[in-house]
Amino acid sequence: MNFKIIKKYLSIPYVWSFTTYFSEGFPYSIIRSVSAVFFRDMKVPLESIGLTSLFGLPWIIKFLWGPQVDEYSTKRRWLLTMQTLLVAMMGIAALFAPLEFNVRAIAVLFFIGSFIAATNDIAIDGYYMEALDQEGQAKFVGYRTMAYRVAWLTGNGVIVTIGTTTGWPLAFLAAAGIFGLFLVYHLFFLPEAESVDKPANLLFGRLIKPRTIAAMIVAILGVLGIRLFFKTDFYTTLEAGLPVLKKVTFAHWVALLLFLGLVMLGVFRRRIKQWLFRDPDSYYGKAFIYFMERDKVSIILAFIILLRAGEWTLAHMVSPFIVDLGIKIHYGWISGLVGLPASIAGAMLGGWAISRFSLKRVIWPFIMAQNVTNLIYMVLAIHLGRFLELNQGAEQVVGIGAANLAFTAAVHGFDQFASGLGTSVLMTYLMRICHQEYKAAHYAIGSGLMNLTGLFAGVISGFIAGAYGYAWLFGISFAAAIPAMALIPYLPYLDEKKSLVV
């Protein structure tokens, strides 16, 4: 068969929307999840493994370099470059794995790789919005979510299994091989979706300017200052008086300070805009100004940040809830055979419904479905309260019965299905509020803010569950979702014709 014909069929969105988002989810699973299993398998203390939370920091602050991905070269070239580096990272990890200094070397390697992977995410999200119109973006949201979940399962299932049974050098080599196949596909079959704005070599020229270097030094010193502050006697005393601070990590504080900086940018945006627009080349500053200067920006920001508050609060406690029920041995099939297909089905249905009926018509029922799950979990916790009392911390657990096990699996399945619906809504809305010229930067800002609530939900949910029990936690998690739902009638850009495409 002619190569051009093959390329024609392999370059359709049904294929590349899957491959690109698999290539977004797979490195994330390796760096954020598989690494924790590897470190623990190498007998690393739990306290040290907790420091791997720093690997997640680039995904929160990626909006800081999102404008450069928009301004220089093309999204396709960015993602090809980043994916080449990620294949190299996995290959080097395979070489480091059998060595005596493997833990420290791979920790440093993955920390550097987390910035590369976050940049890969920016490029893929930007490419998706460049290559598809608004109808296509909504239509393929389900494929995006499906690919991401499959990538996550591949990392946590296939790679972890190889690592814990055959050995970690082979596991990381297999990861490099799998990811390399997707890189080859993208190299030959991923369509060109945009022309070069500015050549990449200009970026390196700007990075070595004294002003840029000075700004980078100030940023590094600021981060180090925050880190050192946690070591002071003052903060130690503060932690003793407020135990919740022991759960708040370095990444939490950096994310919170960056968010406050974005708020200040919004408050003083007119004055900052006047200053920035004196320089016609201030693309970086303009990207942030244009994000903040739009109709009802405060409502948009509040909605993005709060939308998943209830979902995140619930999600952090589902696994402990399953364990305390005494059915941890069933969690694998409940999650893999029920939860995963349900989440993919929800995302696929959500993408189709938004494309068919419009975001404005489906946003309310989909978000309500996502959050009413919390109340169903509350009913489940009340119904199985007796088993929670008997099995929590017990060495010999009491079976909950086939009917209750089926009920629990059904609740989890509905939760994942509804989460897929909600995710399709949020992803589509984030794309709707992106300015045409700053797609990658604006999506990076929105997705970073979306994850902000998730950072703190885990801290709060643990204290609530410990103090009042799972039923109260699940009920409170629904209450946490109400503010975002109340904002839906006031949201701009829900109508496709009024979306921000100028």
- What is residue 284's predicted lDDT score, i.e. its pLDDT? 67
The fold for domain 295-502 equals Growth Hormone; Chain: A; (1.20.1250)
Please state the rounded mean pLDDT for residues 1-20: 78
Q: Provide the β-strand partners of residue 198.
A: 72
Please state the rounded mean pLDDT for residues 279-288: 68
User: Could you tell me the sign of the dihedral formed by the alpha carbons of 261, 292, 194, 208, in that order?
Assistant: negative
Contact between residue 465 and residue 320 where contact means Cβ atoms under 8 Å apart: yes
- What is residue 277's predicted lDDT score, i.e. its pLDDT? 62
Residue 206 has pLDDT above 70, yes or no: no
- What is residue 49's predicted lDDT score, i.e. its pLDDT? 64
Q: What are the tens digits of pLDDT across the range 354-365?
A: 888 888 899 999
Confidence of residue 273 (pLDDT cuts 50, 70, 90): low
Look over the chain and give the mean of its residue pLDDT values, rounded to a whole number.
82
Alpha helices in 132-209 (DSSP H): 134-139, 141-153, 160-165, 168-189, 200-207
Residue 265 has pLDDT above 50, yes or no: yes
Cβ contacts of residue 351 below 8 Å, gap of 6+?
A: 138, 139, 140, 141, 142, 143, 145, 424, 428
Confidence of residue 415 (pLDDT cuts 50, 70, 90): very high
DSSP string, 252-302: HHHHHHHHHHHHHHHHTHHHHHHHHTTSTT-HHHHHHHHHHSSTTHHHHHH
Residue 465 and residue 478: Cα distance in Å, rounded?
A: 14
Residue 162 and residue 140: Cα distance in Å, rounded?
A: 32
**Residue-level length of the chain:** 502
Q: What are the tens digits of pLDDT across the range 32-89?
A: 888 888 887 888 775 566 566 678 778 877 888 888 888 888 899 999 999 999 999 9
Q: What are the tens digits of pLDDT across the range 356-397?
A: 888 889 999 999 999 999 999 999 999 998 888 888 877 787
Alpha helices in 268-397 (DSSP H): 269-276, 283-292, 297-306, 309-325, 331-333, 340-357, 359-383, 385-391
Residue 456 and residue 120: Cα distance in Å, rounded?
A: 25
Please state the rounded mean pLDDT for residues 323-341: 81
The two three-digit tokens of residue 135, written as one number: 């109808």
- What is residue 31's predicted lDDT score, i.e. its pLDDT? 92
How is residue 198 annotated by DSSP?
B
- What is residue 56's predicted lDDT score, i.e. its pLDDT? 78
Please state the rounded mean pLDDT for residues 229-248: 74
Residue percentage of the chain with pLDDT more than 90: 27
Confidence of residue 241 (pLDDT cuts 50, 70, 90): confident
- Nearest alpha carbon to residue 441 among 143, 135, 61: 61
Confidence of residue 140 (pLDDT cuts 50, 70, 90): confident
Residues of the chain with CATH 1.20.1250.20: 1-200, 295-502
Query: What are the CA-CA distances from residue 207 to residues 116, 124, 186, 200, 214 (Å)?
Result: 17, 23, 28, 11, 10
Q: Could you name the CATH architecture of 1-200?
A: Up-down Bundle (1.20)
Confidence of residue 455 (pLDDT cuts 50, 70, 90): low
Instruction: Between 194 and 418, name the one with better pLDDT.
Output: 418
- What is residue 161's predicted lDDT score, i.e. its pLDDT? 85
The two three-digit tokens of residue 462, written as one number: 């643990």
Confidence of residue 502 (pLDDT cuts 50, 70, 90): very low
Confidence of residue 501 (pLDDT cuts 50, 70, 90): very low
Contact between residue 339 and residue 403 where contact means Cβ atoms under 8 Å apart: no
| Residue carrying the six token digits 């209830």 | 310
